[in-house]
Amino acid sequence: MKTRRTIATSLTLLIAFSAGCSPLLFPTRTSVGLPETYTPAGPAFTTPVPAEAVTWTPEPFALELTPLPTPTALATLELPTQPALPLGMQVWDGLPTYPAESRPDYYFRLRYDPASWALTTDQFGHPVLASRNLAGCGLGPAVGRGLPLSGGVAHEVRQIAGVTFQISAASVGGATQFVNYAGGDGAIYTAFALSFGDQADSCQTDAEIVLGTLSSVPQREATPVPG
């Protein structure tokens, strides 16, 4: 019995001694931490620049506008010689300026007094009905025109000798520069631009007498101005 106790005591001491001298045999749990040199992965950050060190100069705002042509009076035109004797009313036949709103086999027709008007061409080769009595007064097919930013357009719908026209008067600084007339008779729809010189009121009055004759004519009966 005593021998067994001696053996047990010796084993206990041996185990205790081994545990104290050889910690690898009985490791203790330790917390797993990050190494001191650990750097988190991710994008590199630079040192922010102080706000007071940044200077910003706004660029000047420039609105670039394409200059638009300002309508002016007709250039001096070479008018056909005025007939010595009255020949009665003459006609001006031409293609409508709004073909989509017109029948394809019809022309417009204006009637005019050759003693007061002459059918000629402008500096661009376009037909124009020019006044013989008022310099710069002319009626031609309407084309796109531009106005400066200070310009304005006044619109109205008015009948002239039974023909309904949409009338657009363009002005700059309160002075009328040109007037567009757009109208038709059901078969054609076309537009004319009226330019005038110093006698704007007289020019417009005379031109509206001609515009009041607007009608359509079948292509087979038309006598268009040679282009």
* Residue 27 DSSP SS3: coil
- Asked whether residue 6 is domain-assigned, the answer is no
- Asked whether residue 192 is domain-assigned, the answer is yes
Confidence of residue 31 (pLDDT cuts 50, 70, 90): very low
- Asked whether residue 78 is domain-assigned, the answer is no
The pTM for the full model equals: 0.62
Two tokens, residue 104: 């394809």
CATH of the domain at 113: 3.40.1000
- Asked whether residue 196 is domain-assigned, the answer is yes
- Asked whether residue 72 is domain-assigned, the answer is no
Report d(CA 225, CA 178) in Å as an integer: 24
Task: State the residue range of the domain holding 130.
Answer: 90-143+152-221
- Asked whether residue 137 is domain-assigned, the answer is yes
Percent pLDDT > 90 in the chain is 44
- Asked whether residue 67 is domain-assigned, the answer is no
- Asked whether residue 51 is domain-assigned, the answer is no
How far lies 138's CA from each of 13, 56, 88, 155, in Å?
A: 131, 56, 20, 20
What is the tens place of the pLDDT at every residue in 97-107?
A: 999 999 999 99
